[in-house]
Structure 1
Amino acid sequence: MSRILQRDIYRLDDPGLPTDQVTPPDPDPLAAARYSCIHWVDHLAKSKPDEQPQYEDLRDGGIIDRFLRQHYLHWLEALSILGGVSEGILVMSKLNGLFQPAVEHNWSACLSTLEGHGDSIRSVAFSPDRSRLASGSNDRTVKVWDAATGACLSTLKGHGSDVWAVAFSPDGSRLVSGSTDGTVKVWDAAPAACLSTLKGHGNQVNSVAFSPDGSRLASGSRDGTVKVWDAAAAAYLSTLEGHGDSVRSVAFSPDGSRLASGSHDDTIKVWDAATGACLSTLEGHGSDVWAVAFSPDGSRLASGSRDSAVKVWDAATGACLSTLEGHRSDVWSVAFSPDGSRLASGSGDGTVKVWDAVVAACLSMLECHGDSVTWVGFSPDGSRLASGSGDGTVKVWDATTGACLSTLKGHRYHVWAVAFSPDGSRLASGCWDGTVKVWDAAAGAYLLTLEAHVSSVRVEQMHLQTLKLREAVLGREHPDTLTSIDNLAETLRNQGKYEKAEQMHRQALELSEAVLGREHPSTLTSMSNLARVLDSQGKYDEAEQMHRQVLKLKEVVLGGEHPDTLDSLNKLALVLGSQGKYEKAEGMHRQTLELREAILGKEHSDTLESMDNLADVLDSQGKYEEAEQMHRQILELKEAVLGGEHPDILDSLNNLALALGNQGKYEEAEQMHRQKLQLSEAVLGKEHPDTFTSMNNLASLLCDQGKSEEAEQVFR
């Protein structure tokens, strides 16, 4: 562009001539620079290395500095002629974002680690004045923290089971929590006293939300209902019934007049928050709806689903305005920017996508996480975007350019919840390891660590205690009691106590069938849990029968093409393979793969899983050539979808190497094993157990070829 752009490039000699009256000369000097004029900053942003806090070309005296000093006005003139002034404004905003420093290169951004919970943290929320932070945990407590010092101000006890949701009232005086014990509690946030316990749900509470004026409270439950409460009087106002399965997410409209709920029945419902009347049912998703969010003006509603799609709806009419496709796995979180112009979505495919919420175009895809993105949210001013992930990190992005500003490391496990402070200066994250961390993306100073953890034996004791209490208070046939039986059984299974776990799952299934019916989702879950523990004990015949029952029921209740039905078909195929019934297993895996490709797409994580499973059963039958071709397809798709350095690539490289070795293609197999080892060392580190496995596999192959000296070199 520097060689082409100049003053009055079309020799018009009339600076006030309207652009629609401009006739390009022949040849057109802008013909070769048309694309560059509009998109040069996009290419610069994507080529900026994340590891360099100071990009050479952006420094004073660099090529960008020289271009802008010499040709800035010439460039604007060219944009005007090309009709691209609006794009030029956006481009300058993106360019400005590239000058922002990357925090993690200069300091740790962690302000404090708040470790006082005894189990996983499911939800976090700042108070409106950002002075306090609340966290809800599976240890059955809510903790309130001083957001500046990290000191625990109070521990709110009273729930009988996991706390899945917390929220402050708009004035910050009250705090609400929702639990798997089926209750909602309202607390005085300052003296730390329980003001009221709202009972009425028949199962766990998944989501809670205050109305914008703080007068009402909504709760969504696994019992399939939404309840609305008077937050001050602690009085029950209404039950919103109509969903056919668990309600996962609830949200008030900005004016408080409407309430939206997303459910595992694949629908979103919009309710009149005053009367409880269902205004509209939004149908179109092909699976569970995980998240709902209103636009700031309340005119639109966004939803994220297990079907990998994001949908934007007209909140008044219920019409689907657009379907945003591109994710390859569940969409766990959606959020509008403060001005409503953009929409962010976080997915199980490890990416964050930023969309133009008006024209339904993908503006950017943010790819850096190594696991599911469980939460996304804009800063209050809309300039930044934060994402929390199953890879244990929180990332802060420039919401305009898509540049990663900082990666906040310190959590050891999945990050389940993230929240910006009202002024956007701090960020809180809650993790599976029971910790809350507070971050400052600008200054970054580590303050304190408070330790407390619970062993698996203690978790078992807690589940047992909860079960006894629920049996005594609620009765053995109450849905909450059934949940406790299943929870205890799963804890036993995780500890390898399979016989006890089997007994508990059989009890839960028997009671669930009697109380809820054979086709109820909770009953199907109990059947699946029992089948899984039978698998773990090698009782494959009985497990197969149980999986067949679940599959048959899901085909009747959900339909043969529902993702949950396909999941059961996949599990049945796996247990057939475990019994050596390879031909039947192969047929089922092919059926699952064909349906997942048609419904979810070839690049969806479930489809890739089916390809892996089919390749494995082909290996088991000695069909090595076909297995090799399948492994190559999987590797090619994963490299395209996840990138060449994603940890999942390691498994695919290993599987392909083994398939080649099984056919005696030792040279190519050796090349694959070396590639996997090199990648494992770079991605996971030389001391990671998977790296040692890669070394062993390579050494074993070398020994098979009689290259014992080279095999020894692998471990040196």
Structure 2
Amino acid sequence: MPTERGSSEDFCAVMGKLQSKLKHSTYKYSRHDGIIEERIQTKTFQEYSPAHVDSVFVIASLNSELCVSGGKDKTVVAYNWKTGNVVKKFKGHEREITKLACVPKSSQFFSASRDRMVMMWDLHGSSQPKQQLAGHDMVVTGLAVSPDSSQLCTGSRDNTLLLWDVGTGQCVEKACVSRNLVTHLCWVPREPYVLQTSEDKTIRLWDIRRLQVAHMFPPKQHIQTYCEVSVDGHKCISCSNGFGGEGCEATLWDLRQTRNRICEYKGHFQTVASCVFLPKTLPLMPMIATSSHDSKVKIWNQDTGACLSTFSLDGSGPLTSLAVGDADSLLCASFNRGIHLLRVDYSQGLELQQVAAF
């Protein structure tokens, strides 16, 4: 784990480079034609001073250069992943950070914590939260901001969803479903719907206009840990917990009329904690990426389910969160070794490389 360097430095503009490290990564993976391949990678990557002093639980992209992250140290960090600089640190939560949600096309974002609070922050504003939203009885485990930034939906292990007016900070709707222990929330683009995963192994689509369940997808065999909706709003992916390869998959669903399961992505050996749609890079096929507690990041052919690339972050422990940096970059949070910047290299087919850690 990263260790504290003697000064907490609430706000710091620059965190310097430490050193370049040689990365040795050995892994096996199954190609779509059934052949098992093993690759050994030896790459040099830049290691910066760590953004956090403990495990990182969540990371989100604020824009094409900045990310925000949070974890066990109860601090939210805004970081320029292209330069290796900490832009700002935000402290206000009393317990570890569980979720982050960025306001579209804005410098503002929300954080949730095990302290049951949700806080709104502005990168260009005060070090104090703009809003503090209290309404849940247990840890907040879901955050979703509407595309027009006017509403925030929050979910918790207390089985409830709350809908907030961002402008006033007031809760305007509340819904409770028995045994619905929320694990993640995301807003469907251009629609009044929120997608939600749960520990009861189901995926729910909520109509925000009445805060009622509009659709329930067929239940899976394992806890659903995370979900994301495609940019066009036509598809969504969810991922499952598991162990020893049982469960441990991501699933692609149709969000349109049929709302059927389209494809599954199997190959991880422990809980899949995060899944993202990758930006379309012509002329390549549509792709998704997953990160897992088995310390691996995988890229998949969205249409066929074939694993196109695997990268093992040896020694990083469980990989807890994944975010898209830009068309060629992924940001991956880990339990033991902070945040990893991965680059998708198309020069020799498709290969993931680590280019930095912070």
Q: Answer whether TM exceeds 0.5 for this pair.
A: yes
Structure 1 stretches of 5 or more lacking a match?
Answer: 1-49, 56-101, 114-149, 453-716
Q: CA deviation at 1:330?
A: 1.3
CA contact (8 A) 1:213 1:256 kept: no
CA gap of 1:185–1:426, structure 2 versus 1, over 3 A, is closer
Q: CA deviation at 1:111?
A: 8.6
CA deviations 1:179-200 (Å, max 9, x no partner) are: 434444556775835645342x
CA gap of 1:255–1:377, structure 2 versus 1, over 3 A, is same
**Residue 263 (1) aligns with residue 156 (2):** yes
CA deviations 1:504-523 (Å, max 9, x no partner) are: xxxxxxxxxxxxxxxxxxxx
Tell me what 1:178 maps to: 70
Q: CA deviation at 1:351?
A: 1.8
Q: How many angstroms apart in 1 are the aligned matches of 2:357 and 2:49?
A: 16
CA deviations 1:635-691 (Å, max 9, x no partner) are: xxxxxxxxxxxxxxxxxxxxxxxxxxxxxxxxxxxxxxxxxxxxxxxxxxxxxxxxx
Tell me what 2:213 maps to: 320
Q: CA deviation at 1:372?
A: 1.6
Q: CA deviation at 1:249?
A: 2.8
Q: How is 1:334-349 mapped onto 2 (pairs within 5 angstroms)?
A: 334-348=227-241, 349=247
Q: Which amino acid aligns with 1:395?
A: K
Indicate which of 243, 246, 250 corresponds to 2:139. Answer: 246
Tell me what 2:168 maps to: 275
CA deviations 1:287-330 (Å, max 9, x no partner) are: 42111111122422111111111111113321211111231121
Q: CA deviation at 1:227?
A: 1.4
Q: How many angstroms apart in 1 are the aligned matches of 2:310 and 2:79?
A: 34
CA gap of 1:170–1:261, structure 2 versus 1, over 3 A, is same
Tell me what 1:420 maps to: 324
Q: How many angstroms apart in 1 are the aligned matches of 2:235 and 2:185?
A: 15
Q: Which amino acid aligns with 2:344?
A: D
Q: How many angstroms apart in 2 are the aligned matches of 1:439 and 1:191?
A: 15
Tell me what 1:356 maps to: 254
**Residue 438 (1) aligns with residue 330 (2):** no
Aligned residues: CA RMSD? 3.5
Q: CA deviation at 1:268?
A: 2.2
- Is the partner of 1:197 in helix, strand or coil? strand
Tell me what 1:215 maps to: 107
CA gap of 1:111–1:324, structure 2 versus 1, over 3 A, is farther
Tell me what 2:274 maps to: 375
CA gap of 1:386–1:245, structure 2 versus 1, over 3 A, is same
Q: CA deviation at 1:225?
A: 1.6
Tell me what 1:205 maps to: 97
Indicate which of 293, 309, 318 corresponds to 1:390. Answer: 293
Q: How many angstroms apart in 2 are the aligned matches of 1:401 and 1:193?
A: 39
Q: How many angstroms apart in 1 are the aligned matches of 2:123 and 2:97?
A: 16
CA gap of 1:284–1:112, structure 2 versus 1, over 3 A, is farther
Q: How many angstroms apart in 2 are the aligned matches of 1:411 and 1:346?
A: 22
CA contact (8 A) 1:111 1:437 kept: no
Tell me what 2:117 maps to: 225
Q: CA deviation at 1:230?
A: 3.3
**Residue 151 (1) aligns with residue 151 (2):** no
Q: How is 1:584-603 mapped onto 2 (pairs within 5 angstroms)?
A: none
CA gap of 1:179–1:171, structure 2 versus 1, over 3 A, is same
Indicate which of 130, 142, 166 corresponds to 1:237. Answer: 130
Q: CA deviation at 1:421?
A: 3.7
Q: Which amino acid aligns with 1:164?
A: F
Q: How many angstroms apart in 2 are the aligned matches of 1:384 and 1:188?
A: 25
- Is the partner of 2:111 in helix, strand or coil? strand
Q: How many angstroms apart in 1 are the aligned matches of 2:205 and 2:289?
A: 21
TM-score w.r.t. length of structure 2: 0.74
Q: Which amino acid aligns with 1:209?
A: A
CA deviations 1:438-475 (Å, max 9, x no partner) are: 253643568779999xxxxxxxxxxxxxxxxxxxxxxx
CA gap of 1:389–1:177, structure 2 versus 1, over 3 A, is closer
CA contact (8 A) 1:285 1:309 kept: no
Structure showing the higher strand proportion among its residues = 2
Identity percentage over the alignment? 23
CA deviations 1:47-79 (Å, max 9, x no partner) are: xxx5465x9xxxxxxxxxxxxxxxxxxxxxxxx
Q: CA deviation at 1:261?
A: 1.7
Q: How is 1:407-486 mapped onto 2 (pairs within 5 angstroms)?
A: 407-409=310-312, 411=314, 413-423=317-327, 425-434=328-337, 436=340, 438-440=342-344, 442=346, 443=348
Q: How many angstroms apart in 1 are the aligned matches of 2:50 and 2:318?
A: 23
Q: How is 1:116-131 mapped onto 2 (pairs within 5 angstroms)?
A: none
Q: How many angstroms apart in 1 are the aligned matches of 2:312 and 2:332?
A: 11
CA contact (8 A) 1:111 1:446 kept: no
Structure showing the higher helix proportion among its residues = 1
Q: Which amino acid aligns with 1:391?
A: D
CA gap of 1:285–1:193, structure 2 versus 1, over 3 A, is same
Q: Which amino acid aligns with 2:277?
A: F
**Residue 366 (1) aligns with residue 265 (2):** yes
CA deviations 1:483-513 (Å, max 9, x no partner) are: xxxxxxxxxxxxxxxxxxxxxxxxxxxxxxx
Q: How many angstroms apart in 2 are the aligned matches of 1:451 and 1:220?
A: 24
CA contact (8 A) 1:350 1:372 kept: yes
CA gap of 1:51–1:213, structure 2 versus 1, over 3 A, is closer
- Is the partner of 2:130 in helix, strand or coil? strand
Q: How is 1:484-563 mapped onto 2 (pairs within 5 angstroms)?
A: none
Between the two structures, name the one with larger relative contact order (CA 8 Å, sep ≥ 6).
2
**Residue 400 (1) aligns with residue 303 (2):** yes
Structure 2 stretches of 5 or more lacking a match?
Answer: 1-29, 242-246
CA contact (8 A) 1:252 1:258 kept: yes
Q: Which amino acid aligns with 2:268?
A: H
Q: Which amino acid aligns with 2:249?
A: T
Q: Which amino acid aligns with 1:316?
A: R
- Is the partner of 2:129 in helix, strand or coil? strand
TM-score w.r.t. length of structure 1: 0.39
Aligned residues: 314
Q: Which amino acid aligns with 1:210?
A: C
Q: Which amino acid aligns with 2:296?
A: T
CA contact (8 A) 1:298 1:315 kept: no
- Is the partner of 2:227 in helix, strand or coil? strand
CA gap of 1:176–1:373, structure 2 versus 1, over 3 A, is closer
